[in-house]
Structure 1
């Protein structure tokens, strides 16, 4: 319903719902303050309980896990006392402030606490960097849902602890499996796992490429389109030419095609169906077409000192040595922004995004740019912030990725979009945020 025609009853209901959630979150913080008071006063010693956690189990009739979580959160978010009895601020003071105001909920708190515990173990991290990280997370939590905040936290950890959680150099093949069960009626059931994130990325590139809708009349669910794509892949494998259909073979020197250094020259031609053959044509998958973003220094030092990683489109990390290995067999697209060989601004000469702009959008936005949406780039469309028909340019600084749902929402809803410092920002309607505060879109950045 348009906010211009929304009646007073609907507005009042929305406001009651918003204030009700704020009140519940404030009450949750009040509960933590009560736990902290019991803990500081050592009431458990008076009652004969072993700990404050055990006391809470009996007092509130809650589980041991819930009691442990309540005590741990109270020690992070409520004022403390030193061994000498001196009053101390909360361990996470900024998080405590927004939690007490009701701006964030339990899921936000859990993400911030887990992130800060990880940073506790980073050797050599300055105290001011730790404090800045906690303040940044608390601030971002007031603008993002739990999923968006987790993405911010992941990138913050990657920035402050680049060597932490190093991806495996090679996949552990013993962890890979594909279990197939045939029932008596001929039905097949699948269950499988791939340990190497690059293998998983290649698998999705092929399957989701084959699962693309054939047109607006194709109303199949994604799961059905994927299994139909797998059937097409099997049928292609059984054809006389086999699954690859590659007739190039080795070069005259006898080296396998693609062997050698990481390709950095011309980009491969886009894989598009011939319109004359119809939309239902299924292309052969061929070799994997992947985009791996990695610092050139890390790539060169892959076989040497430890450190660094590559990023797939999905955000998964891969070891530099793995990137080098895959560069021998796959068509790796080097992401070069603003180079002379790939102009990123084509102005008014065409309406649709070029391949270069599309790849830059994939890297910058990381998928649907709408705040909180996790749709991957391959499921998104390139949207003009200032519409092309209204004079907007087909350029990186005037475009963002949107999934079909949010693309329609922007064009027909009451959200507004604008570019600020090369990044899309989205302003919600009054029904979502009475203050209409702009929200950053695209891939969450490390706060500065």
Structure 2
């Protein structure tokens, strides 16, 4: 058995020779330094292919040594609870990484044709990692079936054609085909282990859980559906965008007419505030960002359980969320339950969606069905009407940004026409532009003058106001 061409067959001195050859190879490769930038593309690709093959061969040999060490039992003298714990500690790679390595080694041993292909560089380490997960979770009958020459040949042919992710799914499909009852038992085991916890902490609400693969797939699709390709101004991390997507889904579910709570009314968000806070919020003007810097003199708005609500969230909710506003006097008597005309009606919302067709923030790709209608002249701050001309469609993230940063929005004029939509400019309180488009909205024609199609103006030159609520 050879690790590299320079390694002689194992004998009495083979381990020392392996160590010497591997160390020599590492030293020679390290000597490359930063020279790779001076190589031609063909040379770089040749080196990459050689390195990939070497990594595959070394991984297989390491796996064989790992299994031999595990089976010897000598590691038990260290006092570690498991081989993975011992190896993770001594290698400093951690028990989880060692578990992956052992799974790869087991798969290469049980399916020697795949192991040999990995040694020769025909199958990547990532393919073997995927195979290791499938083999580790398979029943004894499935493991025996996968070990037959026919099934190994089938797996090897697939591994040569597709990437590791696709290969993992193909191997899982084969295992399910060989023993569908075992696959169902595995699914039920996943279902039995499912849980979800939400813990409110000073840093925020921590979410922890485990769901079965099917539920996870549905959740991933739902999160992707409300996480469009970010615009150039969107500096959120992937994890932050996913968290915002989960919040969007929750808000939309609560807003559905059919969503029930078991009571006479469907669940909704209630913000509680005293009379002074209500007056202060109404008087709050654009002297800075809407982050609460001007609201230090009055009591915080809270949820029903007493949790304080950030001012930017209050501003956004007052604009277009299903909200029960409960203003209390000193004797906790309701003073103002709010105006039901605050939110845009179904026909108004449809009209805004038909006009804007998606989030109006430049270069944001959020689809219309996940949008919220924002009052350009704010409902509470500016006494803006709930009208078609005063509405603009924004995704949840950019709606929050408009309120957090206290932005002003202007709809740009443009000639009407099919396939065109309005464009909007966003400015801060100093009049500085916040976002400017770098590309036309997908599938929509440009006006040619920097604007886009707006509603046909009336005789006085004003856009039609078809759905005003007084």
* Shorter-chain TM-score range: 0.3 to 0.5
Higher relative contact order, structure no. (Cα contacts within 8 Å, ≥ 6 residues apart): 1
Give the greater-gyration-radius structure (CA). 2
TM-score scaled by structure 2? 0.35
TM-score scaled by structure 1? 0.36
